[in-house]
Amino acid sequence: MRAYFDSDILVWHLRGHEKARGFFSRFSGNKEYEMLTGALQRAEIVFFMRDEEVETTISFLSQFKYAPVHQEIIDLAGQLYRKWHPRHGIDVNDAILAATIEITGGKLYTLNVKHYPMEDIIIEKPW
């Protein structure tokens, strides 16, 4: 199964949050899951990490695959953004991740459930 992880839970893990570490331990080495995150979720993390966090952060992120962002995803993300932004305040990164999951399949793990009101993706709050 494709398991997509939003940047919020990646950040909690990197900050050493006990629940986040426990949550990710169930995926490590588990061949049942293909661990992915969005390209823009990775960008959110690497753009804002501190110099002393680079090695640990890059090592952690190396566990994840990244679905390429292409025209079909961007076009769908634009539709999702226009539909959901006024009512739910989703941002461009959320819309692109949601479109990626809708097209490629899988489940999204996030604490920001309200950012993903789309009916066509499976969402689970990890803790």
pLDDT confidence bin for 29, thresholds 50/70/90: confident
CB 97 within 8 A of CB 90: no
What does pLDDT average to over the chain?
95
Domain that holds residue 87: 2-124
- CATH code, 112: 3.40.50.1010
pTM: 0.93
> Three-state SS for 47?
helix
Q: How many CA atoms lie within 13 A of 125 on its CB side?
A: 7
pLDDT confidence bin for 19, thresholds 50/70/90: very high
Best CA proximity match to 63, nearest among 42, 47, 49: 42
pLDDT at residue 88, rounded to an integer? 77
pLDDT confidence bin for 54, thresholds 50/70/90: very high
pLDDT confidence bin for 101, thresholds 50/70/90: very high
Total Cβ atoms within 10 A of residue 5: 24
Q: What angle do CA 25, 27, 32 make, to 5 degrees?
A: 150
pLDDT at residue 5, rounded to an integer? 98
User: In this structure, are strands 34-37 and 122-124 parallel, antiparallel, or unpaired?
Assistant: unpaired
Q: Flag the least confident range among 19-28, 82-91, 101-110.
A: 82-91
Domain count, the chain: 1
